[in-house]
Chain A
Amino acid sequence: MKFAVIVFPGSNCDVDMYHAIKDELKEEAEYVWHDTESLEDYDGILLPGGFSFGDYLRTGSIARFSPVMREVEKAAKAGKPVFGVCNGFQILLEAGLLPGAMHRNESLKFICRHVELKVENNETMFTSAYEKGEVISIPVAHGEGNYYCDEETLAILEQNGQIVFTYNGENPNGSVRNIAGIMNEKGNVLGMMPHPERAVDPLLGGADGLKLFQSILKQWRESHAVNA
């Protein structure tokens, strides 16, 4: 399986993402600059964390208009897995590929530590390797991870099982309904604030994030085998 790691000016978790795919999942990954105009060669699209365009105006608001985003939208429409972490999640929200918006952490502080997440839905292409209700430890590092959506949207998210991860116990940023990660209705676009790509090796503090990438790979292999 071949992944594109999209790199915007100001991305800074691209190397972690590349490492997770290449060295831990042991699949193919390539860095793709944000002005690229085709993603046809890739089976999965990864939007890494960082501070694209310096977080100017609003997080993700400028990156959302990079040429590559038209291709990301196309990939999402085609049903390819699209996964945004942290700033990548913020970009997916600004692009309208996921509902809602992000704003400042309630504490106004940048938080950088491990948090506990609960797997709310394991019947997704991103979480099938986890148990439902499984509690995992994944690091967060953000100043704007306070997810917001109106009540109507929240009801739809809940009803469709689109809330994939919630914070277990303490909510670090004040997000609605303790949301840490959501997916689109179709189930192939996931955005989350915590960084599973930084939790893929016990030597570096934990490997609870690896199953997320293994889930994507498993789903791809299964659908690929059927198609072949």
Chain B
Amino acid sequence: MFKVKVYVTLRESVLDPQGTAVKSSLAKMGYEGVEDVRIGKYMELMIEDKGQDIEAAVKDMCGRLLSNPVIEDYRYEIEEGVVS
């Protein structure tokens, strides 16, 4: 079994209204020096090991559904031999 961790974040060129709101809330709470907050998504996928090209499959999933390339970037980590 593969355990795939996918991180989806807004592209730097795209404003993040949620991140901005959280940043100003942190400042109001007294946390100094928080210069930027960007909010993203974290997903975990458990995928059966069938000897497939797992990296190609994950890239395909990320590009087609898990992220929207117009506004988001993604990165992933693949753990092999995970027992579910």
Chain A interface (Cβ < 8 Å from any Cβ of B)? 57-58, 61-62, 65, 93-94, 99-101, 103-108, 146, 148-150, 174
Contact = CB atoms under 8 A, between A and B. Distances in A.
A99 B71 CA distance: 12
Interface in B12-63: 13-15, 17-18, 21
11 contacts: A57-B66, A58-B68, A61-B68, A62-B65, A100-B70, A101-B71, A104-B18, A108-B18, A146-B17, A148-B71, A150-B70
Interface residues of B, number: 12
Given A105-B17, A148-B14, 15 more contacts: A57-B66, A58-B68, A61-B65, A61-B68, A65-B65, A101-B68, A101-B70, A103-B17, A104-B17, A104-B18, A108-B21, A148-B70, A150-B13, A150-B70, A174-B15
Nearest to B71: A101
Interface of B: 10, 13-15, 17-18, 21, 65-66, 68, 70-71
B17 A174 contact: yes
A24 B41 CA distance: 43
Q: Is the interface of A mostly helix, strand, loop or mixed?
A: loop
A104 B22 CA distance: 14
B71 A103 contact: yes
A93 B18 CA distance: 22
Contacts of B21: 108
A109 B81 CA distance: 44
A99 B17 CA distance: 21
Contacts of B66: 57
A94 B68 contact: yes
A106 B17 contact: yes
B40 to A, nearest CB: 12
Given A103-B14, A104-B17, A108-B18, A149 B65 contact: no
A107 B21 CA distance: 9
Contacts of B10: 103
Nearest to A153: B70
Nearest to B68: A101
Nearest to A103: B71
A149 B68 contact: no
A113 to B, nearest CB: 19
A225 B16 CA distance: 50
B65 A57 contact: yes
A217 B15 CA distance: 39
Contacts of B15: 106, 174
